[in-house]
Amino acid sequence: MTKKSKFLNLSKIKFLKKITMQGNSKKDRILRATLKLITENGFHATPVSMIAQEAGVGAGTIYRYFKSKESIINELYDIIMKELHEATMANIPPDISVRDEFYTKWKNILNFFITREYEGRFISQYMTSPYIERTVIEETKRRNIHLKLLIERGISQGEIRRVDYNTIAVYMWGTIKQLHYLYVNNAINLTEELIDDIYSVFWEGIRIHK
C-alpha cells in the first residue's frame, strides 16, 4: 500500500488563495503582481500600468526588467514550471517501485495545484498559449523527461503495457486539472480515499495483468 504520511492531507486543508512566490525585489514584485492580475483578469485585461500599480513600481521600471508583457509571461511560466518540477520530484527514494513512483509524482503535482492556486491556474491557462516561446517550451519538455524514463522502466520490468508518453501525460494532467477545478469550485470533497481510487483506476488501466 502506498504510504500517505509524506503528503499533505488534502481533506483537512483550507483553500489557499495566495501567491507563494517569494522575494521582495522590484523584479520579484512585478512577477508576483503579474501572476495575480493575469490569473484573475486575463492577459488582455491586464495592462502594464495595472501591473506597475499592483507591484508598487513605475511603468518605466517594468521595461527595465522586461521587453514586454509577453516577456513577463514567459519568465513567470518558466519559473513556475521549474518549481512544479521540483515539487513533482520530491519524496522519491531510489528504490521506489514503478507503481509508487507514478503515484508519488501524480500526487505531488496535485498537491502543488491545490496549495498554490494562482500558479495552478496560470499553468492551466498558459500551457498551450501562443505567448509561450519555443525555448521555454523545450526547457519544460526537458524537465519532463523523467516521466518518459519512468514509462520505459515500467515497460522493461514488465510492470506496464506499452503505453505512449502522451497517453500518460493526458491522463495525469487531465485528472489533476479536473480535480483542481472541482475542488476550487467547492464541487467535490477531495479526500485521500478519492485520490487513491482515482489513481487505482489509472494504474489498473496501464499495468500488465499477470
CATH number for the domain that contains residue 131: 1.10.357.10
Q: How far is CA 114 from CA 147, 191, 193, in A?
A: 21, 12, 16
**128: pLDDT confidence band, cut at 50, 70 and 90?**
confident
CATH number of 53's domain: 1.10.10.60
Q: Looking up cell 519568465, which residue turns up?
A: 75
Give me the number of domains the chain comprises: 2
Considering the domain architecture, whether residues 81 and 56 belong to the same structural domain is answered as no
Q: How confident is the model at residue 117 (pLDDT cuts 50, 70, 90)?
A: confident
Q: What is the pLDDT of residues 6-58, one digit of tens each?
A: 444 443 333 334 455 566 789 999 999 999 999 999 999 999 999 999 999 99
pLDDT score, position 7: 45
CB-based contact 72:66 (threshold 8 Å) = yes
Please write the tens of the pLDDT for every residue from 148-183.
999 999 999 999 999 899 998 888 888 998 888 888
- The pTM of this model reads 0.85
Domain limits at 49? 20-66
Spatial separation of the C-alpha atoms in residues 118 and 133, rounded to whole Å: 21
Judge if 123 and 95 occupy the same domain.
Answer: yes
Query: Apex CA 41: angle with CA 130 and CA 170, to 5°?
Result: 45
Q: Do both 39 and 107 map to the same domain?
A: no
197 and 131 assigned to the same domain? yes
Calpha distance 158→136 (Å, rounded): 34
